[in-house]
Amino acid sequence: MTLSKKIINAQVMEKNAHLFSCPICSSGMELRDKSQLVCSNHHSFDLSRHGYVNLAPQAHTTKYDKALFEARKTIIESGFFNDLLNYITETVSAQLASRKEGVIVDAGCGEGSHLAMLLSQLAEDVTGIGIDLAKEGIAVSAREYPGHIWAVADLAKCPFQDGEIDAILNILSPANYAEFTRILKPGGLFLKVVPASGYLKELRHVFYDDEKEQQETEPVARVAAFFETVKTTRITYDFPLDNELLATLIRMTPLTWGASDDKIEKALRMNISTITIDFEVITGINK
């Protein structure tokens, strides 16, 4: 008998329920009837029909909608991030090599493609958990990538027990360093990806009119304040685009948020055939 995606996801969640902490009272949790995460104080959270759980105590509205996540999935599947993902896979694999089992959290996982691709290259005894505040992205994750744990959650209050996670990924997403150090094991890996100066420069020239957009202030210094053995690696390459993929990229990137239709049309008319990919990968070890 073929199992439903909800049951497949519920089985993984049931096996790893000890990792969770109630987002309301911080007590331990268990999965009941493969349908509810329940804490010892009887706060309960239902699994959706696709098998994700909403652990955000309050409803949140984000700028990330279903169309954006579908565009992002298309971009990722095109190979746009492959060089970056290869580096992340090598780094995480080396970190977990000496551990019998491993638990990875992708904090700000979007629609789950990055985590799913990473897990496909790692050993079967590695458990992957994707969390994001955007319910639309988590819904796509649970539907498209069953067999992992997907949860709507707020990074300001990560719904996990202290010191249970082996590695945290934070790819082009906001961070909560205090929470990350709390849930990571001693010696656990933190890996953050931020855009470097050349990232999508062909589009930035259109949408920012040479104005410098806001970025996180001193990300390396922020990581170094919380983690040890901080290392930075620059990953830069050019990626070929056709017009259809360019249009999808424009729909995906936050660079276009608030942009006028004229600017979007201008970018589409430029027939950009290659785009610059430029990331800084920052890694640190939990103290």
Q: List pLDDT tens digits, range 189-210.
A: 999 999 999 999 999 888 876 5
Does residue 279 fall inside a structural domain?
yes
Tally of structural domains, the chain: 1
Q: Give the domain CATH number at 254.
A: 3.40.50.150
Cα–chain-centroid distance for residue 130? 6
Contact indicator for 148, 77 with CB cutoff of 8 Å: no
The arithmetic mean of pLDDT across residues 25-46, rounded, is 97
Does residue 250 fall inside a structural domain?
yes
Does residue 66 fall inside a structural domain?
yes
Give CA–CA dist 231/241, Å, rounded: 31
Give CA–CA dist 268/270, Å, rounded: 5
Cβ of 226: how many Cβ atoms within 10 Å? 17
Residue 284 confidence (pLDDT): 98
Contact indicator for 246, 269 with CB cutoff of 8 Å: no
Q: Domain residues for 117?
A: 54-286
Residue 124 confidence (pLDDT): 82
Cβ of 128: how many Cβ atoms within 10 Å? 25
Residue 1 pLDDT exceeds 80: no
Does residue 217 fall inside a structural domain?
yes
Residue 155 pLDDT exceeds 70: yes
pLDDT class for 252, splitting at 50, 70, 90?
Answer: confident
Q: What is the pTM of this model?
A: 0.93
Give CA–CA dist 32/29, Å, rounded: 10
Residue 44 pLDDT exceeds 70: yes
Residue 162 confidence (pLDDT): 98
Contact indicator for 189, 167 with CB cutoff of 8 Å: yes
Quick one: which of 47, 54, 44, 45 has its CA closest to 6? 47
Residue 94 confidence (pLDDT): 94
Q: Which residues contact 155 (CB under 8 A, 6 or more apart)?
A: 107, 108, 131, 133, 174, 175, 176, 179
DSSP class of residue 2? P
Average model confidence (pLDDT) across the chain: 92
Does residue 143 fall inside a structural domain?
yes
Does residue 47 fall inside a structural domain?
no
Does residue 170 fall inside a structural domain?
yes
Does residue 35 fall inside a structural domain?
no
